[in-house]
Amino acid sequence: MPDLNVKIHNLTLKNPVLTASGTFGYGEEFDDFIDVNTLGGIIVKATTSKHREGNPYPRMAETPMGMLNAVGLQNKGVDYFVENIYPKLLKYNNCVIANVSDSTVEGYVEVAEKINRLDHIQAIELNISCPNVKEGGMAFGTSCPSATAVTRAVREVYDKTLIVKLSPNVTSITDIALAVEEAGADAISLINTLLGMAINPETRKPVLSTVTGGLSGPAIKPVALRMVWQVAKAVKIPVIGIGGIGSAADAIEFLLAGASAVQIGTANFVDPQVTTKIIAGIQDYLTRHNIPDVKELTGGLIL
Amino acid sequence: MKKYILNLRVRSNKRLNQNHNLIELGCDSPLPSMVPGQFAEVRVDGSPSTYLRRPFSIHRVDRGANTMHLLIKSVGEGTRHLSALKKDDILNIMMPLGNGFTLTRNSEVLLVGGGCGVAPLYFLAEQLFRQGNKVNMLIGGKSAGDVLLADDYRAFGTVYVSTEDGTLGEKGMVTAHPVLAKRVQSFSKIYCCGPDGMMRAVAHIAETNHIDCEVSLENTMACGIGACLCCVVETHKGNQCVCTEGPVFNPKKLINWTSETETGCSLDQ
């Protein structure tokens, strides 16, 4: 049996398959379909300092091999998370990671401080890349000084593993990656959604209430793979690959490009069992190629 | 109610008119429990432009034959693909999803359906009939061709029809039909599914006459299980997912539904 364990800083994952924030709710939505504990870990829906209603409907547009969303970080705020959602996450014995977002540095710090006290949350993923909020979110992740500032501020109050999730909507993703590494990130995850747009030609109106939204799904996979490859070469900390992964072969591409683990996002909407199929598929691949340890795949691209 | 992912076999695919099909699906093992108003998310295989599943109301359930029916309107690539399914094709379906209608007992009720909005009302009419209710069904359409399956509902009660162009039944909007305009007080509950404007107008009539009402919404969805938060509707408790908190809602819980003074509707909406 090949070894599927991977390490991301201080985290030990039983396999390299995580779920992407915002695509897996708080885990329980999937309990009818899979044993969530068989996954490497789950990254739950983003938490902000205050309750957020998110953006008005319509929030979604299907596009060729993907979708645009403009949910806008709808969540009930960190205090509600701590009191009501955290207790329900205790049933998961794999790695549970919180995704943290906000519109101010102080807000990010507040959420990170409060989540730092929760023993069962082993890491946070700092979301500096949400394209769907008017202030903050992606704005932090599109310039080196602001990415540095928010990462450094959270690093000061957060003791456990700090993952920073990068936006692809930048000129040079490696510059941002190097900036957050320098500012104290323990790992980097990428990519968040690509800013996009859809118009209804009959009405001449945008499909989304916010006009623009974040593109995800298989359509973005080549872009994500290229960015993971560039970033993995540039930084020393582990990289987690995200973007259009829907099969074991897709996941293996990201590992070969330099990722130590992957996140499955939009594919969960089409097949709630896709994560377990990907884990089985990675195992098959390793067996078929006589590779004893999945870690050997990371950066194994042959040029 | 536990949700399943099932591979169901197409038993028959009946074309009702130019753009509506009734697909009967079967399974070797017993179909799961489900209630009227719940829906299924159907994966559309072999249609490259259709990435996400498509939600459809559970139209009818035949426990004897162990089959269920979906009423499908062809509006795009995905639904056109489903309409072309052949006997013995396999459909991957996630079900049952969402919350169903609240069933009354031993009362007189009115079901109002517009266009393919009749989809969840067959299963509902059948169950209401079994619970001892006197069932009235009002079906509306733009034209005679849009009035779907009217005869099928006669097994459970009285059927009324209206069309905007007068080609079948009363001429005009469903809300102008005498059963709603003149004898609405005889109903203890109104159930409605159809275009947004029609449901709002019916909800308004129900509110004005202090009659309990439920509507079934059809927002654009991705996951169908409350994970993506895309299909939200504004309620007095904030944005809620239609897929998990609905699709059936009491319109009083929805913002800007019952306070508006709408009096008519068009199936264009």
- Count of the separate structural domains present in chain A: 1
The pair of structure tokens assigned to B185 is 């007080």
Note whether residue A101 is domain-resident: yes
Q: What is the pLDDT at residue A134?
A: 62
Torsion from C-alpha of B42, A217, A284, A297, nearest 10 degrees:
-170
Q: Which of B48, B50, B227 faces A268 most closely, judged by CB atoms?
A: B227
pLDDT above 50 for B13: yes
pLDDT of B172-198, one tens digit each?
A: 999 899 999 889 999 999 999 999 999
Separation between Cα atoms, residue A30 and residue B225, nearest integer Å: 8
User: What is the arithmetic mean of pLDDT over B119-139?
Assistant: 97
The ranges of chain A with pLDDT < 50 are none
pLDDT tens, residue by residue, A89-148:
999 999 999 999 999 999 999 999 999 999 999 999 999 987 766 666 677 888 999 999
Is residue A62, in this structure, part of any structural domain at all?
no
Does A163 fall in a domain? yes
What's the average model confidence in pLDDT over B151-166? 94
The domain locations on chain B are 4-97, 108-253
Residues of chain B contacting A24 with CB distance shorter than 8 Å: 227
Which residues on A lie below 8 Å from B238 (Cβ)?
A: 53
In what helix (H) or strand (E) does residue A224 lie, and over which residues does it extend? helix A221-234
Q: Measured between beta carbons, which residues in chain B are less than 8 angstroms from residue A218? A: 51
Q: Find the catalytic residue in A36, A71, A100, A130.
A: A130
**CATH 2.40.30.10 matches B4-97:** yes
A130 catalytically annotated: yes
Mean pLDDT across B226-231: 97
Question: What confidence score (pLDDT) does residue B206 get?
Answer: 95
CA–CA–CA angle A150, A156, A159 (5° rounding): 115
* End-to-end Cα separation, chain B, in angstroms: 33
pTM check: above 0.90: yes
Report d(CA A117, CA A109) in Å as an integer.
13
In the CATH hierarchy, which fold is given to the domain comprising B108-253?
Rossmann fold (3.40.50)
- What pLDDT does B115 receive? 87
The region of weakest confidence among A237-246, B32-41, B113-122 is: B113-122
Specify the 3-state DSSP secondary structure of A190. Answer: strand
3-state DSSP helix/strand/coil percent for chain A, to nearest 5? 35, 20, 40
Answer whether residue B258 shows pLDDT above 90: no
Domain-located, residue A188: yes
A81-93 burial by CB neighbour count: b if 16+ within 10 A, else e?
bbeebbeebeebe
Q: What angle do CA A40, A42, A45 make, to 5 degrees?
A: 165
Would A13 be classed as within a structural domain?
yes
For chains A and B, what is the number of CB pairs under 8 angstroms? 92
d(CA B195, CA B146): 13
Q: In chain B, positions 207-246, which contact chain A (CB-CB < 8 Å)?
A: 219-234, 238-239
Q: A60 lies in a domain?
A: no
Residue A211 domain-assigned?
A: no
Question: Which chain A residues contact residue B231 at CB under 8 A?
Answer: 57, 59-60
Residue by residue, DSSP assigns A53-120 as: --PPSP-EEEETTEEEE-----B--HHHIIIIIHHHHTT--SEEEEEE--SSHHHHHHHHHHHHT-TT
Distance separating alpha carbons of residues A255 and A166, to the nearest angstrom: 18
Cβ contact (<8 Å) for A33 and B43? no
Nearest to A59 among B49, B94, B230 (CB): B230
Residue pointed to by tokens 């000061």 = A156
Q: Return the residue in B229, B242, B269 with the most chain A beta carbons within 10 A, the one to mutate for interface testing.
A: B229
Q: Which one-letter amino acid corresponds to residue A133?
A: V
Judged by CB atoms closer than 8 Å, whether chains meet at A53 and B3 is answered as no
User: What phi and psi, each to the nearest 5 degrees, are found at residue B33?
Assistant: -65, 145
How confident is the model at residue B262, as a pLDDT?
42
Q: The CATH number of the domain where A107 resides is what?
A: 3.20.20.70
Residue A205 pairs in a beta bridge with A200
Q: Does A24 contact B48 at a Cβ distance shorter than 8 Å?
A: no
Question: Closest approach of chain A CAs to the CA of B92, in angstroms?
Answer: 10
Range of the domain at A252: 6-55+72-195+216-297
Provide the shortest C-alpha distance from residue B184 to chain A (in Å). Answer: 32
Contacts of A45 in chain B (CB under 8 A): 229
Q: Do A23 and B228 touch (CB under 8 A)?
A: yes
Are B232 and A57 inside 8 Å of each other by CB? yes
